[in-house]
Amino acid sequence: MDSDWFLSPLFQKCSAAANLHPCMRGYSSVHTQQPAGPIREYNIDPYILLEDELKYIFEDIRQEISRATNHQELNKIAVYYFDGQGKAFRPMVAMLMAKALNYHMHNENSGRHCLRGDAGKSPAYASLTVHFRVFCLFLHAVSSNIVHAQRQIAMISEMIHTASLVHDDVIDQSFARRGKPSVNVLWNHKKVTQAGDYILAVASMLLARLKHDEVTHILTQVLTDLVQGEFMQLGSKETENERFAHYFTKTYRKTASLIANSLKAVAVLAGADEQMAELSFQYGRNLGLAFQFVDDLLDFVSSSEAMGKPAAADLKLGLATAPVLFACEKFPELNPMILRRFREPGDVERAYELVHQSQGLEQTRFLARKHCIEALRLASQISESPYQKGLIVVGDFVLNRMK
Residue 288 pLDDT: 98
- Which CATH fold would you assign to the domain 46-105+133-401? Farnesyl Diphosphate Synthase (1.10.600)
Q: Is 398 helix (H, G, I), strand (E, B) or coil?
A: helix
Rg from Cα positions in the chain: 22
- Which pLDDT score is estimated for 31? 34
Q: Which residues contact 13 (CB under 8 A, 6 or more apart)?
A: 241, 244
What does the pLDDT read at residue 14?
A: 60
* CB contact at 8 A, 292 and 258: no
Q: What is the residue-level pLDDT of the chain in tens, covering all 403 positions?
A: 454 555 565 555 565 555 544 454 444 333 334 443 445 556 889 999 999 999 999 999 999 999 999 999 999 999 999 998 888 999 999 999 999 999 998 765 534 444 444 444 455 444 445 444 444 444 455 578 999 999 999 999 999 999 999 999 999 888 888 889 999 999 999 999 999 999 999 999 999 999 999 999 999 999 999 999 999 988 765 677 788 899 999 999 999 999 999 999 999 999 999 999 999 999 999 999 999 999 999 999 986 555 555 678 899 999 999 999 999 999 999 999 999 999 999 999 999 999 999 999 999 999 999 999 999 999 999 999 999 999 999 999 999 876 5
C-alpha–C-alpha distance, residues 258 and 266, integer Å: 12
Q: What is the pLDDT of residue 118?
A: 46
Q: What pTM did the predictor assign?
A: 0.84
Reduce the DSSP state of residue 176 to 3 states and report it.
strand
Nearest to 138 by CA among 165, 168, 115: 115
pLDDT of residue 312: 83
pLDDT at 174: 86
- Distance between CA atoms of 376 and 372, rounded to whole angstroms? 6
Single out the residue of 280, 384, 383, 292 nearest to residue 26, CA to CA.
Answer: 280
Task: Please give the backbone phi and psi of residue 180, each rounded to the nearest 5 degrees, phi first.
Answer: -140, 165
pLDDT at position 255 is 97
Surface-to-core class of residue 69, CB atoms within 10 Å of its CB (0-12 exposed, 13-18 middle, 19+ buried): middle
What pLDDT is recorded for position 68?
Answer: 96
Residue 164 pLDDT = 96
Predicted pLDDT at 238: 63
